[in-house]
Structure 1
Amino acid sequence: MTDTMTAYSDGDIDTNFSAASPHLNELVDARYSRRQALLGGISAATAAVFGGAMLSACGSSAAEQAPPVTVSAGGSIATTSGRTVTLTGTVTGAALSSGWTQVSGPPVTLTVVNAGTATFVAPSVAVATPLVFRFTGTNASNVSTTADATVTVSPAQLGFVATPKSLADIVAVPTGYTVTVLYRLGDPILSGAGAYANDGSDTMFSRRAGDHHDGMSYFGLAASGNAPDPTNSSRGVLAMNHENITQAYLHVGGSTAPGGIRPEAEALKEMECHGVSVVEVSRSGSAWSYSPASSLNRRVTPLTQMRFSGPVRGDAALKTVFSTDGTSGRGTINNCANGTMPWNTYLTAEENWAGYFKRETGDVATRGGASAKANVSLARYGISENRPGNYGWATVVPADTASTIYARWNVTARAAQPADGTGDFRNEAFQFGWIVEIDPFDAASTPRKRTALGRMNHEGCQIGRTVAGVRPAFYMGDDATNEYIYKFVSTAAWSAADATATDRLAIGDKYLDAGTLYVAKFNADGSGQWLPLVFGTGPLTAGNPAYAFSSQADVLINARLAGDALGATRMDRPEWTAVNPVTGEMYCTLTNNSSRLATNTDAANPRAYADPKSTGGETKGNANGHIIRLRESGDTSEATSFAWDIYAFGAGSDLDPTNINLSGLDATNDFSSPDGLWFGLPSNISGQSTPILWIETDDGAFTDQTNCMLLAAIPGAVNDGATRTVTNTRDGASGTQATRVGKAPGTTLKRFLVGPKECEITGIHSTPDGKSLFVNIQHPGEGGNAASISSNWPANQSGGSATGSRPRSATIVITRDDGGIVGL
């Protein structure tokens, strides 16, 4: 056998002889002329094709390299979360490329403007945090030169100049912001309703926007179809409440009642103006509009079919001639605040529902006397004898003699009818005062009244932070003088998978139909307890001398009586609740309390004083209201105890700083009667690390100086202030009261918006990106009438002549002119 050995050859053995690829020289010649090659050198030509790595490998000398470029990354930058930062780099010398990359710090998305410029939005941080960015310039030899820029991001700050107080008939916002009127009373949303004439002649309000726009939520929609998309900030549905009506503007010449009988057409219009709207909205460029023909559009009114769920479903107290088994009912009314559920449903709260019912003289005796349970219950909720009922709907004689849509507003028991209520409407009032859940993505679904959350003057229902495996809490105020703050803790522990379920009301069944309702007791030392409203425990038994509770359903129907029995703390009109998405702390507005005396204050409701008006007269009690906050023990929604303090006291900046203006408010942030309350969403920087708290007012005490307003705050935390002792003086009496006051807000609280004449600012939500803020303007010009119009808003918002135009409640959208996050 013969071995043939091939010696090493530095030849063309592994050379590619294919004609498909050009030779090096051909590549060079294709890009550079002979003159350019001579001027720049073969090194530069080769770098254009292969880059600097080949030059290094070839060992070219420095003389053959292109000269390096010089770069600058600019100076250090200081900014705050949510602000847009511009990085500007410069290159001196001939460069093939340049650009920015992030080296360290919380990651951000860089948007390239040009080769030397990039922008990003400063991320949310809790403390000052450096971010380093590198600017790189590359020369023709593919040699890079770099320079670094450090951007130090501090926690979010309010990024606008405070809006001055105003008595003008317009919505005013800071410079750099734009207001768009989106959805007004009477706007058509369903087929059959024509354009709104706004002269009192309009009908078909079950197909139009209702009146008194109030609590509101935005739900993102998929780009096409009707499925939820919680990330979509350009297409969504707005669900909003229509709390009440400005009756004087709804009819041609005002309301009438010839012979004490309301005309059916007027009463029907007024009823249909109450309830809830669900309407699709979208943004094209920077312009928002609503879709009048969307299949998602819906009106829920006092006439809409309802289903009861939870412990009270089927209880004897819910039985009427309409629902003899106590499982269903008609409508929802006086819907004020709201709740946005993580499984994409809308909660609406029935607030001042009791005033709509007529009760004739003699009804107490028919029901068994003053000590009869039904009479005790009706009285505790404000339904006394000889009351006509709001708007006199019960007086209507309908054309359809079989109709009961008007008779239901009279709760007088008829002696000739069965005592169980199945023959009349004696129990109709017990069908109201609940939290109602609506699926905004299914216009054919039946809303559910969630009875496990108790019956009261519900002022919204705000869910706390959701943590997997932990039972969520839902916070509620009872909006009436000296009423209580409540919390409902679900029996079901939270599962993140429920957020994307398609049977959304079934998820509501899971979390809202079983659990424990609690009422709050605030102690003088800054601690508090959640007292359970559970039948058979403590005083909640048949042996209670004030009211003999017979079941858990009885306790829930009469949550106020249960709170009385447990010794809960009587508060200064508890209204909206809001939960800080970062800390879990719950805030609650206590709007005011004219009955608060110098002798009956407590630590959680510490002020009683007289507030003189520049126009004459004065308001008394806790005239300007305050905002209380609490932090659950162990930071868990399941806690039965908490710590509390008062975040801010409403007051004019000219009032006594020692005993009234306890938060040190000035002309940029003084306010009165806080009502609406909402934190920015955690899907954007306004709800991260140091979230924005939005505060809306519904005021009668400060209106000599300003219309109602919206303020933005970046609050601290419970117990960031100190204990104070207040000296109260009212009606010749005086007394001292110790309380717990949060750190003075200073520049972390600013007035953002002032509304038109005689309005309330209420209802607030935003798109997921925080760049569009929806706000409701309720009852502008409410003091006028058709013959003497006191506001022309919103027809005058764009600056044109609107003389003679009747005012309309409306939803507005606020955006920043630079496209940034609102408020920061």
Structure 2
Amino acid sequence: MSDRIDFNDEDSNRSANPTFDSVLTSRLNRRGLLLGGVGSAVLTACGGGSGGGVAFPIIPPAPAPAPAPAPGPAPGPTEKLLGFGAVPKSLADSVLIPAGYSASVLYALGDPLTGATPAYANDGTDTGFENRGGDHHDGMEWFGLGADGKRSDSSIDRGLLAVNHEATTDETLSSFFLHANGGTTTLPRPAAEVDKETAVHGIAVLEVRKDGAGKWSYVKDSAFNRRVTPLTEIDIAGPAKGDALMKTKYSPTGVKTRGTLNNCGTGKTPWGTFLTGEENWFGYFTRAAGDDAARSNDKSVTSLKRYGRAAGATSRHGWETGGADDKYQRWNISKTGASVDGTDDYRNEMNGMGFVVEFDPYNKSKLGVKRTALGRYAHESIAFSKPVAGQKVACYMGDDARNEYFYKFVSDAVWSEADANPSDPLATGAKYLDQGTLYVARFDADGAGTWQELSLSNPAVAGFAGYSFANQADVVVNARLAADAAGATKMDRPEWCATNPANGEVYLTLTNNSNRRIEPASSSQLVPDPANPRVYTDFKGTTAQSGNPNGHILRMADAGGNPASTSFRWDVYAFGAESGANADTVNLSKLTADQDFSSPDGLVFSRSTGICWIQTDDGAYTDVTNCMMLAALPGQVGDGAKKTLTYQRADSTQYTVDTMIGKQPTADTLKRFLVGPSGCELTGLCETPDGKAIFVNIQHPGESTKQADLADPSKYTSQWPSNAGYGAGKRPRSATIVITKDDGGRVGS
């Protein structure tokens, strides 16, 4: 293949589920062009820092006037949230933050996690990634450590970071920055390359500390440091444990699997464990062209196609060609054995991926656990309802693919405060995450919505003509098919979700969807609906991008504030758009140049300040600015008004759709806080309990570099973080940074 793989471009939902076109009263207009101007920030980088951390340039939005002489002693500072100056858009290969803040690199791809592991050379010769930092830093959570080395929820200067390592930077088969000569671009792949690429996936747990001078660093030889890769053994729990769908050559009883893969968003449980979501795992597997016939075209074929693996599907990296060893052959999910149950091959191997996995970050002797009751799909982050004694616990999850769904799981058990700090955290996880009810969201035109149960108790699921579910294990393993049956609303790539600590409302990023159309030409193309109401054209230079290129952020409130409720209210908090776009059809939130954004992805609420941090993973606006992070002080569902969008089809018929838009953000409630280096995605954020340090991930800087240009660093589209003074070599590296306020205040004030 000659083109870079778009690993987030899965589109396998061919269900006939309504998209609320039945509630629309007329037709939508084809025209809604983004008309904003194109600009860039010309910035000057500066060196800085000492030791392991390196300070980034801190560039204010505009030069500040010289202060007038003070008549007397200045009063103490008064905190104002979002009191910082908005950072301008930028195409510079550096990290920009507001004046009055400092940032440094904390932990990057390849950094040693044991004292015996040598420093990272960053030239493709490095090995031993089972003991090094992985690639594509993504979701991340903080877990405090006390002076006694035990869990401390109040610790502000010592803790563990649990970090997802999602994927690698590719143009063809090879993760070329990892290999000295760029790696092979044809099959078969050498075993040494496959082993290295496999090992940089998964998660890491690492200890971090702040010294007396306020400088943060990670502890290279900490006993807590841990890597989990796609080869690490994992337990299976919940309805699918031991089911026929989970049986493989590796685990004939279906109770274990190997590894976790393509880990994206995260969650932190009320009982203090780490949750990681397995997102775009389907692309790592291959299936032979004749596999449908080998399976006698049974219902497993329906399942495989629904999850993006049609017969003849090739794998992302060709890992299955690394050799005859079992660790390579597992990536071939064709039926090759003679057994009835799949215990002599890996025909069921993909059924072991696509879950939320729970880890005890404080105890690396404990295996991770796949919580199958939460369903199997392209998981992003997982957000919990506020735990209330005597009330059931809910968690919310998005399926990140075009036209996929938003889910909720409600525990059978009611919350007990005694479970907040248990002696056996994974047993507590089993209590709340292995038994309960899985739901999928259906959004109605009037700002209401319902949660549809995914079980055989729902007649729509039990009687589904498209797939015959055998039991609840079958329902959760094939949650997408169950959601099809339940009539869920197809959404514009549901990504991260987060719970507002102020009121318990749930926010969901809908990154974009190129398949929205006024006049659909295929079964995968959808007309707009109230929860996904825009269809327009966004010009990136002279290239037209159609559908909903900029995405939006939706929010919802369960009825009565009860997370177990099966109904909710919703509206759209903010629509991504260029500030100069048409305010009637595209820039519906009327964003200014200090607020405009595209393709919201990461989403985290600060438990300290209540700030909602919004991170972007953008391809539509990157001719104007690199990806960014914004700070928001959102209101609540229903604080805005209904908006009717009217468009015209080619046959001149009118088509209208009503949507619910939240209160317009102001300069005091939404502004840009950070812009990342070239080609990066901003993703993952956590903080110390006092809110005075936040940790942010910079993923895949220089992603658009060509494999053929590996030998010439001047042709890299990014050299970050080496150009900021961190580490050897010039190959770009994903990394975690730490941000603090120079006056010692809380970040975001």
- Report the TM-score range of the alignment, normalised by the length of the smaller protein: 0.7 to 0.9
Larger radius of gyration: 1
Amino acid at match of 1:232: S
1:440 aligns with 2:388: no
Among candidates 535, 541, 553, match of residue 608 of structure 1: 535
- Partner Cα distance (1:754, 1:770) in 2: 20
* Contact 2:189–2:318 under 8 Å retained in 1: yes
Amino acid at match of 1:499: A
Residue in 2 that maps onto 1:187: 111
Distance 1:729-1:706 versus aligned 2 partners, 3 A rule: farther
Mapping 1:40-59, distance limit 5 Å: none
Other-structure match for 1:297: 225
1:811 to 732, 736, 739: 736
> Of 644, 661, 665, which residue of structure 2 is paired with 1:741?
661
Matched, 1:249 2:177: yes
Over residues 645-684 of structure 1, what are the superposed CA-to-partner deviations in whole Å (9 max), with x where a residue is unaligned? Answer: 0000000011111100000001101000000000001xx3
Q: Which amino acid aligns with 2:340?
A: A
Matched, 1:630 2:552: no
1:387 counterpart (300, 304, 313)? 313
Give the match for residue 205 of structure 2.
278
Against the structure 1 CA distance between its residues 645 and 738, is the aligned structure 2 distance closer, same or farther, given a 3 Å change threshold? same
Is contact 2:145–2:153 with CA below 8 Å preserved after alignment?
A: yes
Q: What residue in structure 2 maps to residue 375 of structure 1?
A: 301
Alignment of 1:321-720 (within 5 A): 321-369=249-297, 372-397=298-323, 403-414=325-336, 416-541=337-462, 543-599=463-519, 600-614=527-541, 616-681=542-607, 684=608, 686=609, 691-720=610-639
- Aligned partners of 1:731, 1:771: CA distance in 2, in Å? 55
Partner of 1:554, secondary structure, is helix
2:65 is aligned to none
Q: Can you list the C-alpha shifts for 1:601-651, whole angstroms capped at 9, x where unaligned?
A: 10000001100122x212110010000000110011111100000000000
Code of the residue aligned with 1:602 in structure 2: it is D
Give the structure 2 partner of residue 237 of structure 1: 160
Superimposed CA distance per residue, residues 124-164 of structure 1 (whole angstroms, 9 cap, x where no aligned partner) = xxxxxxxxxxxxxxxxxxxxxxxxxxxxxxxx531101000
Matched-pair contact (CA < 8 Å) for 2:571–2:662: yes
Counterpart position of 1:750: 671
In structure 2, distance between residues paired with 1:189 and 1:730: 58
Overall identity of the aligned pairs, in %: 53
Aligned partners of 1:725, 1:118: CA distance in 2, in Å?
49
Q: Which one scores higher on RCO, CA 8 angstroms, separation ≥ 6?
A: 2
1:213 maps to a residue whose letter is: H
Matched, 1:204 2:131: no
- Structure 1 runs of 4+ aligned residues shifted over 4 Å read 116-122, 728-734
Identify if the C-alpha distance between structure 1 residues 302 and 157 changes in structure 2 by more than 3 Å, giving closer, same or farther. same
Q: CA deviation at 1:537?
A: 2.1
1:199 maps to amino acid:
D
Give, in angstroms, the shift of residue 365 of structure 1: 0.6
Cα distance in 2 for residues equivalent to 1:338 and 1:821: 23
Distance 1:540 1:496 in 2: 35
| 1:820 equivalent in alignment to 2:741 | no
Distance in structure 2 (CA, Å) of the matches to 1:578 and 1:586: 6
Return closer, same or farther for 1:537/1:216 CA change in 2, 3 Å cut-off.
same
CA pair 823-117 structure 1, distance change in 2 beyond 3 A:
closer
Q: Does the Cα contact within 8 Å between 1:218 and 1:237 map onto a contact in 2?
A: yes
Aligned partners of 1:728 and 1:703: how far apart in 2?
Answer: 28
> Which residue of 1 is the match for residue 241 of structure 2?
313
Mapped contact 1:188–1:292 kept (Cα < 8 A): yes
Query: Could you report, residue by residue, the CA deviation over 1:383-424 in whole angstroms, capped at 9, with x for unpaired residues?
Result: 1111221110001115xxxx311100000001x420210000
The 8 Å contact of residues 109 and 135 in structure 2, kept in 1 or not, is answered as yes
Written as runs of structure 1 = structure 2, the 5 A alignment for 1:774-785 is 774-784=695-705, 785=707
**How many equivalent pairs are there?**
659
Q: SS of the residue aligned with 1:647?
A: strand
Amino acid aligned to 1:407: Q
Q: 1:434 and 1:729, CA in 2 relative to 1: closer, same or farther beyond 3 A? A: farther
Deviation sequence 1:256-310 (CA, Å, 0-9, x none): 156x210001000000000001000000131000001011000000000000001
Shift of 1:190: 2.2
Contact kept, 8 Å, 1:295 with 1:443, in 2: the verdict is: no
Report the counterpart of residue 34 of structure 1 in structure 2: none
Question: Which residue in 1 is equivalent to 2:524?
Answer: none
SS in 1 for 2:420: helix
How far the C-alpha of 1:242 sits from its partner, in A, is 0.4
Aligned counterpart, 1:111: none
2:121–2:729 Cα contact (<8 Å) kept: no
User: Contact 2:649–2:655 at 8 Å: present in 1 too?
Assistant: no
Per-residue CA deviations over 1:342-375 (Å, capped at 9, x if unaligned) read 2111000000000000101100011112xx2100
Contact 2:122 2:729 in 1 (8 A): no
Structure 1 325/715 Cα, relative in aligned 2: closer, same or farther at 3 Å? same
